[in-house]
Amino acid sequence: MADVQGRWDPRYEEVVTTLSASLDAGTDVGASVAVLVGGEPVVDVWGGWADEARTVPWGRDTITNVWSTTKTMTFLCTLMLADRGELDFSAPVARYWPEFAAGGKGAVEVRHLMSHTAGLSGWTEPLAPEDLADWEKCTSLLAAQEPWWEPGTASGYHAVTQGYLIGEVVRRITGETLGTWFAKEVAGPLGADFHIGLPAAEDARVAVVIPPPPPDLDQLRPSELVIRTMTNPPLDATYPARAWWRRAEIPAANGHGNARSVALVQSVVAGRGEARGVRLLSAAGCDRIFEEQIHGTDLVLGSEYRFGMGYGLSSGMMPIGPRSCFWGGYGGSLIVMDQETELTVCYAMNRMEAGLEGDLRGAAILMAAAAARVGG
């Protein structure tokens, strides 16, 4: 069996075995897994290699780009602001960001940004990849354009735009970028090694993601909406190897961390606002997550999704508990929180699988952890 480093409660041995088997099979090159119960770690492990050539071992403090798992950090920031009375999810976005009212968007509410229902899943004006590092350009274009469908009527996954949309609202309220506010108000108090906008000094610890094989577009037959969402600019898995991507703040997609740091932050949700003695949300403020915003076939992802306030909720596509929520990232990373069992499970890796959904590696880790929690 592949060597797995770290610490774990013997009752969660199957979680470790599952990771080891994936490393043995080559479905993983390098990965980390964390399981917390009541905010305390019962599994904190890692194994494999930090590089595709398999020359650098994945270490305790190796970090990687977790793609859209970053969104859960963005959601937590907005929930905290709402809990403090500084943000109203039912208010028009234009209350905080007046320019956003252009293009007939005066009635679009903050909750629409949270649930991918704002009709802004991509940019109408052409963008070069490096433009994603230009905050003002990305947000100004979104403020000016018209929605691609009637806001509030359906979700259409805002794969990259969601971070700019929510992030600009946070910036208008706090006067700080989302990455800066997150570092000060969330990561700092918790001692979490997670970064939205990675300092150059941390580059040596990064396990660069290994891009998946390109999708067969002829077989997928994507809709015009999917093409517009995913190709302007193209969602290219080589971006995380580039300095401009790492230094930028892209709050929907370029967060760097590992399973330990992601799970530590998101265990606040499982703990109804508190983790390891640090309270970031009131219990009532945390409950806002479970207010269903939309449920149906997502216009971009093409599968059934049920969105609460930011987070994905239990549905046919992701049958988790009634007080559970989740999200994952392009290529396979996954974070799931369950308030009933106080369980938080995270999987973060470097070898990406194709597509935005359908990867079973994180699900296997989750099932092993949930079974151990019930059995324990």
Which residues have a catalytic role annotated?
Answer: 68
CA-wise closest residue to 255 among 58, 122, 81, 71: 71
> Residue 236: what residue type?
D
The two structure tokens encoding residue 132: 């994603």
β-pair partners for 295: 306
Residue 307: left (phi > 0), alpha (psi -120 to 50), or beta?
beta
Say if CB 3 and CB 22 are below 8 A apart: no
Measured distance CA(80)–CA(309) in Å, rounded:
12
154/94 Cα distance (integer angstroms): 21
**3 state DSSP class of 7:** strand
Give Cβ neighbours of residue 241 (< 8 Å, ≥ 6 apart). Answer: 208, 209
Report the chain's C-alpha Rg in angstroms.
19
Q: What is the DSSP string of 202-248?
A: GGGGB---BPPPPP-HHHH---HHHHHHHBTTB--TTGGGSHHHHHS
Q: Which helix (H) or strand (E) holds 346?
A: strand 343-349
* Cα gap 70→195, rounded to integer Å: 9
